[in-house]
Each structure stands twice: as structure tokens, then as C-alpha cells.
Amino acid sequence: MYFSAMNVSLPGIAWKKIYPGRAFFVHRLLPAALALGLFYELATQASGEVFLSILSPTSSRSWWLLSAALALMPVNWWAEVCKWRSLIVRTEPMSFSRAWQAVLAGVAVSLFTPNRVGEYGGRVLFVQPENRWFAAGATVLGNFAQALVLVSGGTAGLLWLSRRLDWPGAAWHNQIALIAFGGLFLLWLLYFSLPRLPARLHRYGFVKRLKQLVKADMQHWPRVSCTDLARQAAWAFFRCLTYSVQYYLLLLYFDVPVGFLDGFSGIFLLFLLQTGLPLPPLSGFLTRGNLAVALWGQFGAGAAESLAATFGLWIINLILPAFFGTFFLFYVRKAKDSSV
């Protein structure tokens, strides 16, 4: 059984047995705080002009474009569920329904943490205590693959737009491209070397000391092959393509005048820059919005339209899933008991 009546806890920590107040915090106060925070940010982060742009479509195809962007939201998170679950099922049977709950709960918690590190805490609530490190490791591996895809796409987008818009350094385009793709090759080489990395690291004494410090059994971390890594990268690429299409559909919806190639290059570049900002998705929204305004403004887009497209994607891909994730956090104990 995942949780007993006297042991409602985060994996591996008997909070209710030892600290009753912390169990109440995890299962009641934390989800309530998340819900209140979502409403507060929705009310304060965007101006009335942006909301007016969202609610006032101007193109005859607008409703079709918006509907398509909304329809792709579950596809985006389905890919993430498949990516994470493909590793988790090696140590713990997990249905797609339960994996959905874990991933969306991670989205809810991650909205308030830098670079969405809260995903780890949200997901480990839905696994058995002895598998918490494995679940965290699977999340790290999937996020690493996602980051590599974003860096690769963002680098290509930057190189294209730097020449297209004649940005500073365009004269050195060929040399910069050579260095950039050389760096990407090394990153992907490191990624596909991960199966051999633990054996090599254990040769060094500091790894043993680190293991004792964090009390983590490295044997519980995912053991992966190159095939597993390729599968993770494929899911990551599919996710990146999905939310890039969503963003492009929203740009068309708000009549941002950008072509197909320029649009996707800019989208990949924005995702790369946004990933590098060490800010929680909620508090960093306006900063990310300013990047979008600066980029799409070079194609003649207004600030309101650029912010509306960015804010629309934020609502579709983060806020809506986070509401569901908050609900799952409220009922995480019931969900665990019913899965026994």
C-alpha cells in the first residue's frame, strides 16, 4: 500500500506519523495556496489591453486557430506523460491515468519555482517511497533531453534570424555557426554517453562522499541504454514541435505578421531564451513577454498582439494544466489508496 491511515507523507518521509502539521500542509494548505496564487497572477500579470486583444479576434480564421491551439494542449502533455512513464514503469507499475496526475501535479507546483524545479516534488508524491530517487532521476533525464532539443532548435533559430534581420555579428555567421554546431555535437555526445557515466564517476572518491552526504542509493536511479535516450529525445522533439505549432497558431490568431520559417525560428529562439531565465513561470511572465515584444516587433507586430500570443500560450499550456494538477494534489492521498 502506498499510504496507510497513519502514514500520509511525501515519499520516504512519515510526516503524519512524526509531524502531523506537515502532512496537513502537503495535502491541504499547499494546494490551496497554489490555487490562490493562480488566481492572483491571472488578475495582476497582464494588462487590460492584453486581455482585450485575447477576447477580440480580428481574423476570419481566428476561432479555428484558437481551437487548434487548445486541442494540442493535451497532446503536448500526453507526450510528457509518455516520456516520463516509459522509465517509471521499470520499477513501479503505473497507469496512464496515474502518470497524468503526477505530471500535472508537477506543473502546478513548478509554477512557483525557478526553472520549474518543483516538477520533481509534485511527481514524487505519486510514487512509492522507495522509488522517489528513481522518479526524480527519470524527471531529470527527460528534462535534460527537452533542454537539448530546445538548445538545438534555439541555436538554429538564432543563426537564421541573425542573418535574416542583419543582427550584430551576422558578418561572422559562418564562424559562429561552426562553433555553435560544434558545441551542440558535444552536448549530444555527452547525452548519449550517460549510460557509461555512472561507472566512470564511481572511480572518483568525491562521488562516494556525495552519495553518503545525500544518502541516495545510485542503484535506484534510471539505468538507461542509448535506445532509451533516443526515445526520450524523440518524445522531447515531439513536445517541442507541438507547443511550437501552438505558439505559431496563436501568432496567426492575433495577426502577428510573421512567415512560417521566420515564425518558427523566432519561437525556437524565444523558448531557448526563456529556458535560460532562472525565474518561476508566474513571476517571470512579464520578463518573458518583453522578449516576445522585442522579437516580434522586428516583424511589425504590436506589443499587445505579441503579449497576447505569449500570454495565450501560457494560459493554455501551464495555467489550465496547473488547475487540474492542483485538484490532483488535493486528492493525492485518495488517489494513492485507490491504486492499491
**Contact between residue 240 and residue 150 where contact means Cβ atoms under 8 Å apart:** yes
- Flag whether pLDDT at 183 surpasses 80: yes
**Predicted pLDDT of residue 76:** 94
Averaged pLDDT for residues 103-110: 86
Average pLDDT, the chain: 75
Q: Which of 5-14, 94-103, 145-154, 267-276 has the highest mean pLDDT?
A: 145-154
pTM of this structure: 0.77
CA–CA separation, 189 vs 192, rounded Å?
5
For residue 135, name the pLDDT band (cuts at 50, 70, 90).
confident
Averaged pLDDT for residues 213-226: 60
Which residue is listed with cell 521566420? 262
- Flag whether pLDDT at 132 surpasses 60: yes
Domain borders along the chain are 15-338
Residue 231's closest CA among 101, 83, 105, 14?
83
**Contact between residue 187 and residue 148 where contact means Cβ atoms under 8 Å apart:** yes
Higher pLDDT, 167 or 61: 167
**Predicted pLDDT of residue 59:** 52
